[in-house]
């Protein structure tokens, strides 16, 4: 069956919110992909084509990211979680696929609205931290900057002006991927174009969102209780070469959510969906198949996720 081109549209949630419907059969599972910190719907451009032959795939730009302007809205976790609830109202129940900050938002929504979320796929999720745990140098640098928002915004702006858009994007990819060369050239160029069209508001969005994620993981007890309380089945995909969230931290999920499946992917960094989109798509496909197999009836997942 021929699939239609992606359809771009905007929701009004106290300002424009860009949603991209990549298409796919509407009588099969819907997945809603939520990007991470400083990223956008562009990051799913490799995964969506690999998944949409048997899933309806929808992606969203959070405020201040991609094609969704900040429009005076907060970029923090709580505000984005409330916004995601409005997006889910429009999209309908869906398996939530969240990357990094987007994974934390997916957990929050699955906890608040469990009937909306038949399953969770978490890519490189931020994990609860204890104050005595050693940070990676890359993470420590981000935390230090975000402790002083004005300094962080100034430093980001100066770095961008010094490097230029292309080198700025290349270095960010080198940090968040095991190798920047694994990211498709089309995605790299789209990220560069976005960086060129952005400005001070992009840096402010990044800093506010980063501070919010930092506070989430620092409040380790509350965050652990939230994860442990989620009832949705889960699949966690984490890169063995992740420089921002060491794989050892993910081991606590075995206690918090023993029924979830956790896969540590070799030679992959903090962005599995950009580094290995076909493999990630296959793992999501296998996961949604298990949801259908364990549903109360063979059609239950289809009924829950179809519009």
Per-residue pLDDT averaged across 218-236, rounded?
95
Look up residue 43 and give its DSSP letter.
Answer: G
- Quick: pLDDT tens for 87-106: 999 999 999 999 999 999 99
Look up residue 2 and give its DSSP letter.
Answer: P
- Domains annotated on the chain, with CATH: 7-305 (3.40.50.1820)
- Quick: pLDDT tens for 242-297: 998 989 899 999 999 999 999 999 999 999 999 999 999 999 999 999 998 776 54
pLDDT at 152: 79
Cα Rg of the chain, angstroms? 18
Confidence of residue 86 (pLDDT cuts 50, 70, 90): very high
pTM of the model: 0.90
Query: Quick one: CA torsion of 296, 302, 304, 307, rounded to 10 degrees?
Result: -160
For all residues of the chain together, what is the average pLDDT? Answer: 88
- Which residue, among 228, 220, 210, 222, has the nearest Cα to 249 in the 3D structure? 220
Per-residue pLDDT averaged across 50-54, rounded?
91
Confidence of residue 133 (pLDDT cuts 50, 70, 90): low
Per the CB < 8 A criterion, the answer to whether 105 and 84 are in contact is yes
CA distance linking residue 269 with residue 272, whole number of Å: 7
Contacts 24+ apart (CB under 8 A), 133-136: 133/249, 136/243, 136/244, 136/246
Per the CB < 8 A criterion, the answer to whether 41 and 60 are in contact is yes
């Amino acid at each position: 069956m021929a699939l239609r081109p992606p359809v771009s549209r905007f929701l009004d949630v106290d300002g424009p919110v860009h949603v991209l419907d990549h298409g796919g059969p509407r009588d099969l599972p819907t997945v809603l992909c939520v990007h991470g910190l400083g990223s956008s719907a562009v990051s799913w451009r490799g995964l969506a084509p690999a998944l949409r032959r048997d899933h309806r795939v929808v992606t969203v730009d959070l405020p201040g990211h991609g094609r969704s302007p900040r429009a005076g809205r907060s970029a923090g976790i709580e505000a984005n979680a409330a916004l995601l609830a409005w997006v889910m109202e429009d999209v309908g129940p869906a398996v939530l696929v969240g990357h990094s900050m987007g994974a934390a938002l997916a957990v929050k929504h699955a906890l608040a609205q469990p009937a909306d979320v038949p399953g969770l796929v978490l890519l490189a999720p931020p994990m609860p931290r204890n104050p005595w745990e050693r940070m990676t140098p890359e993470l420590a640098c981000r935390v230090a900057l975000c402790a002083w928002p004005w300094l962080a915004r100034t430093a980001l702006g100066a770095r961008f002006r010094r490097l230029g858009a292309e080198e700025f994007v290349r270095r960010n990819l080198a940090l968040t991927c095991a190798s920047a060369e694994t990211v498709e050239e089309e995605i790299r160029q789209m990220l560069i174009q976005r960086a060129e069209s952005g400005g001070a508001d992009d840096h402010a969005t990044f800093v506010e969102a980063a501070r919010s994620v930092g506070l989430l993981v620092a409040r380790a007890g509350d965050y652990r209780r939230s994860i442990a309380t989620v009832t949705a089945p889960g699949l966690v995909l984490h890169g063995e070469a992740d420089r921002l969230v060491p794989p050892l931290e993910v081991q606590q999920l075995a206690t918090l959510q023993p029924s979830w499946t956790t896969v540590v992917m070799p030679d992959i960094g903090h962005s599995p969906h950009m580094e290995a989109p076909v493999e990630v798509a296959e793992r999501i496909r296998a996961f949604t198949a298990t949801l259908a197999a364990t549903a109360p009836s063979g059609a239950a997942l289809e009924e829950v996720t179809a519009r």
